[in-house]
């Protein structure tokens, strides 16, 4: 079965994922910050961090698309590659950023685990969104068939 995803649909998916990620990353940064650096204060520039990290998390959407429906095995492989690329990008930033205490192993581990948790939660939110859309579409189709 051919997938009819064009650039418009990919952009829509990317925007939806972006806002999901911004929300989840903001929560992650708040939790990790309170655990490891609770007395630190930030300027307003800190509000850009979730926006930037979410942008990194959305980039693979444009490279990991298939015109065919994926088997469960291929879907899992794609998602594992996706999360590994995002983890690598985020950890690279962590080790290069002077204001992130990457010398503390517990901070690095919490960020890595946090990225994985955000990824899994974003998949769950996406699933719920798509399930809701599918249920609505099925209800409309049922109604259409009854009235036909």
Q: Which of 104, 83, 84, 86 is nearest to 95 (CA)?
A: 104
Maximal CA-CA distance, the chain: 67
3-class SS of residue 2: strand
Whether the pTM exceeds 0.85: the reply is no
Q: Are 101 and 37 in contact (CB under 8 A)?
A: yes
3-class SS of residue 68: strand
Per residue in 56-92, pLDDT (tens digit) is 999 888 877 766 777 889 888 988 998 999 999 999 9
d(CA 97, CA 38): 19
Please give the structure tokens belonging to residue 68. 């065919």
Per residue in 93-131, pLDDT (tens digit) is 989 988 788 888 988 899 999 999 999 999 999 999 989
């Amino acid at each position: 079965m051919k997938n009819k995803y064009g650039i418009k649909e990919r952009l829509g998916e990317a925007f939806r994922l972006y806002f999901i990620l911004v929300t989840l990353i903001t929560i992650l940064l708040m939790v990790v910050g309170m655990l490891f650096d609770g007395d630190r204060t930030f300027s307003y520039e800190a509000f850009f961090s979730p926006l930037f990290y979410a942008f990194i998390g959305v980039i693979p959407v444009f490279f990991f698309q298939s015109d065919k429906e994926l088997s469960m095995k291929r879907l899992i492989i794609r998602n594992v590659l996706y999360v590994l690329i995002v983890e690598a990008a985020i950890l690279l930033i962590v080790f290069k950023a002077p204001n992130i205490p990457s010398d503390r192993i517990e901070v690095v581990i919490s960020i890595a685990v946090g990225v994985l948790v955000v990824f899994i939660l974003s998949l769950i939110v996406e699933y719920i969104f798509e399930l809701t859309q599918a249920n609505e579409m099925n209800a409309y189709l049922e109604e259409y068939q009854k009235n036909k």
